[in-house]
Amino acid sequence: MFLFAFSTFARIGELVAVRDIPQEHILQLNDASLTYVQGEAKQIVVSFRKFKHDIKEGAKVIRFTDENTGTSESAIESLVRFLQLRTKLPGPLFCFTTEHPVARSYFDKILHKCIDLCHLDSSKYKGHSFRIGAATAAAERGWSDSRIREAGRWKSNVFRKYIRP
């Protein structure tokens, strides 16, 4: 989930169950697909049907490969492994074997445990850190403002606040 959140510039509320947000507003299994080349997954295509500021524009499709994420671990391989374990029934993309969606509180708890294992101050990291990190990493890799805005589904230049030193 961490690699997926980073690679898609996702808002945490797009991936996990959050109180007062309908479950159908989070990514569903059929919102993500893999593109294969010679039997190997090479690209993830994600359709964000509902997102902040979508204002009747319809779904926003994001495509990414491991080459344009800049991570040392493969988000694509991680998603393939996860999908092999995930039930094939429709529902939230990220769910437990019980088919219940991952809750925000659970995501935060695991994130903080992982940050602690890295001997970092977990109080400085939140679910939104993936979106901030993605924008920052893209800027460091020389992406244009318009490319970052498109990838993060920003309508304005507010994304510049996300780019951190």
Domain ranges of the chain: 2-162
Half-sphere exposure of 45 (CA within 13 A, CB side): 7
**Residue 133 CB partners (closer than 8 Å, separation 6+):** 6
CATH hierarchy code of domain 2-162: 1.10.443.10
For the chain, the first-to-last Cα distance in angstroms comes to 24
Q: Give the type of residue at 141.
A: R
d(CA 120, CA 53): 33
CA 156 → CA 64, 68, 160, distances in Å?
A: 22, 22, 9
Task: Read off the pLDDT of each residue in 76-95 and give the average, rounded to a whole number.
Answer: 93
**Residue 68 banded pLDDT, cuts 50, 70, 90:** low
H-assigned helices in 41-100: 75-85
d(CA 37, CA 65): 12
d(CA 92, CA 15): 8
Q: Residue 152, SS3?
A: helix
* pLDDT on residue 57: 65
What is the model's pTM? 0.86
Task: Read off the pLDDT of each residue in 9-24 and give the average, rounded to a whole number.
Answer: 84
Q: Which pLDDT tens digit goes with each residue over 19-33?
A: 877 777 899 999 999
